[in-house]
Structure 1
Amino acid sequence: MIRFDKVTKRFPDGTEALKDVTLDLPARQLTAIIGPSGCGKTTLMKMVNKLENPTAGAIYIDDEPITGMDEVKLRRSIGYVIQRIGLFPHMTIADNVSLVPKLLNWPADKTDDRSKELLQLVGLDPAVFMDRYPLELSGGQQQRVGVVRALAGDPNIVLMDEPFSALDPISREQLQDELRHLQQEIHKTIIFVTHDMDEALKIADTIVVMKDGQVEQIGTPQQLIDEPANEFVRNFIGTERINQKRSFGDRRLKEFAFLFDTDWAGEAEEVEAKLSVSDAHQLLEQSGKPRLAIIDEGTLVGFAGERELLRAALHVEKEATV
């Protein structure tokens, strides 16, 4: 867990980017930090790997204060993905991905195996891409490599600073889907800064909404939809979006099988795939179980919890705006 305890950040020009922020970010979850430009979200994230230091207060990783930690060792233990990707153009994809493992003195065979495994997970065939150079890849492929490089050293924490915002809408949606799938495989503590509420609702386990250097609300996507803490949060999410997500709609579950989790191993309430998304959400709440097991003519097609049903609602909204 990452903990901020009464953290304030004041820049030399007098700008107060963060104001007495106390916040716990859960381990092994994807937390999205969102808010308008200048709200302090990127400053907050950069404090985790000491790219920014607090003026007052303390930051803890697993209850250990980071103040006395060696900056180089700390940064090598944390993955970092940025909007501009930052791949070295004169180095092959294999060399880009292996940077941190080499700094950590990993054996060559372990580094090679890790690189190939991660490239495969993000849909890039190692046999095709390992020996290519960044300029031979599309923007979306380069960003996938950026994610792989951040994960190559097997960090427990990954920081992602608006990594998909420069991509075209199709590549962005694909990478959002792949990040969710990847997180189901690796279960890292991911802090994802974004200005896009739909992106946050789609990918996050937890969302932190910020304004003027302070936290306005923290909660699950569904909690923000159902119970916005104040007028700012309500307006930032958008009344129309809130109403659409609450209603979920009458489309059938079977239409959204491609959005559902297939690896769930916990408790689940069985439902028929012909059930509407809206009815399924109501049944999920009544069941008290974390997931629905969706059955189509006797065959399991996937598992859906609040996030997956919310993603189905987001998909319907996106269709309506095309």
Structure 2
Amino acid sequence: MIRFENVTKRFPDGTEALKDVSLVMPAHQLTVIIGPSGCGKTTLMKMINKLEKPSNGKIYIDEQPITDLDEVQLRRSIGYVIQRIGLFPHMTIADNASLVPKLLGWPKEKKDARIRELLELTGLSPDTYMERYPLELSGGQQQRVGVVRALAGDPNIVLMDEPFSALDPISREQLQDELRNLQQTIHKTIVFVTHDMDEALKIADTIIVMKEGQVEQVGTPQQLIDEPANEFVRNFIGIERIRQKRAFGDKKLKEFIHLFDTEWQGEAQTIPADSTINEAFHQLEKNPSHRLAVTAGDRVIGYASGRDLLKAALLKEEEVAQ
């Protein structure tokens, strides 16, 4: 868990990038920080690994003040993915990805096994890519390597600063999906900065909405859509998204079976396929970490997560018809 307690960041020219911010980023969840340019979201994230230091207030990781932690050791224990990736062009993918394990003194066998495992998890064949160089890869493939490098030292926390914003829309959407799938396997505490509300709604467990150095609202994607804290949040999310959600909340689950997983192995509560999306949301609120087993008679025909329900609620009418 990462906790900010009355944190203010004041630059030498007097600009206050953060103003008395107090919040909690839950452990093992993907927290997205979002807001307009200049709102303080990147400054907030950079404070976690001491790239920026607060003028006032305290920051805790698992209830330990980070002021007590050595900067170098702290940064080696936190993965970091940036927009421009920053791979070294003269080094192979394996060498780029294993920088932190080398600094941590891992033996070669352990390093190689870790990189191979992570390349597989991110959809890159180790036999094909380990000995290639960054310029031989597409932008999306390079960004996957950036994620592998951030995870290579097995950090508990991973910071991601607009990592997909420079990619084309198709690559970006693929990597968003892969990040969600990856998180279900690795269960890291991920802090993800973006300016794209569609991206935030798609990937986040928790969203922090910021404006002018202050936190306007913290909540799940569904909470922000159902109960925006104020007019700024309502407008930033987009009135149209809220209208779409409410308009389609009475649609039956059976209309969206194509969106749901058919092979879920975890815990699930049953719900009839004739139930509405709103009814499903209300049932899932009791156990948001579970999924709903959508049933037709005695047969389970799909498993729906909260994110699946949100995606269904946001579909346009012509997309539902397909």
Counterpart mapping for 1:5-16 below 5 A = 5-16=5-16
Change (3 A) 1:282 1:76: same
Query: What's 1:212 paired with?
Result: 212
- 5+ residue gaps, structure 1, are none
Q: CA deviation at 1:284?
A: 4.2
CA displacement, residues 183-234 of structure 1 (integer Å, 9 cap, x when unaligned): 0000000000000001000000000000010000000000000000001100
Task: Provide the C-alpha distance between the structure 2 equivalents of 1:240 and 1:206, rounded to a whole number of angstroms.
Answer: 21
Match of 1:256 among 248, 255, 259: 259
- Is 1:135 the counterpart of 2:99? The answer is no
How many residues are matched? 314
CA root-mean-square deviation: 2.1
Change (3 A) 1:297 1:177: farther
Change (3 A) 1:33 1:309: same
Task: Provide the C-alpha distance between the structure 2 equivalents of 1:261 and 1:117, rounded to a whole number of angstroms.
Answer: 26
Query: What's 2:310 paired with?
Result: 310
Task: Provide the C-alpha distance between the structure 2 equivalents of 1:6 and 1:284, rounded to a whole number of angstroms.
Answer: 34
Identity of aligned residues (%): 71
CA contact (8 A) 1:264 1:303 kept: no
Change (3 A) 1:63 1:133: same
CA contact (8 A) 1:269 1:284 kept: no
Counterpart residue type for residue 179 of structure 1: L
Change (3 A) 1:98 1:286: closer
CA displacement, residues 226-261 of structure 1 (integer Å, 9 cap, x when unaligned): 00000110011111111112333647122213xx48
Q: CA deviation at 1:113?
A: 1.0
CA contact (8 A) 2:270 2:295 kept: no
Matched residue SS, 1:164: coil
Q: CA deviation at 1:280?
A: 3.7
Task: Provide the C-alpha distance between the structure 1 equivalents of 2:318 and 2:23, rounded to a whole number of angstroms.
Answer: 32
- Is 1:268 the counterpart of 2:269? The answer is yes
Task: Provide the C-alpha distance between the structure 2 equivalents of 1:246 and 1:234, rounded to a whole number of angstroms.
Answer: 14
CA contact (8 A) 2:271 2:280 kept: no
Counterpart mapping for 1:164-313 below 5 A = 164-248=164-248, 250=251, 252-257=255-260, 260=261, 262-263=263-264, 265-272=266-273, 275=274, 279-286=276-283, 288-290=286-288, 291-295=291-295, 300=300, 302-313=302-313
Task: Provide the C-alpha distance between the structure 2 equivalents of 1:190 and 1:314, rounded to a whole number of angstroms.
Answer: 25
Task: Provide the C-alpha distance between the structure 1 equivalents of 2:282 and 2:43, rounded to a whole number of angstroms.
Answer: 37
Q: TM-score, normalised by structure 1?
A: 0.92
CA contact (8 A) 1:35 1:211 kept: yes
CA displacement, residues 38-60 of structure 1 (integer Å, 9 cap, x when unaligned): 00000000000000000011100
Task: Provide the C-alpha distance between the structure 1 equivalents of 2:54 and 2:240, rounded to a whole number of angstroms.
Answer: 38
CA displacement, residues 83-111 of structure 1 (integer Å, 9 cap, x when unaligned): 00111111100101111111111121111
Change (3 A) 1:229 1:286: same
Query: What's 1:80 paired with?
Result: 80
Q: TM-score, normalised by structure 2?
A: 0.92
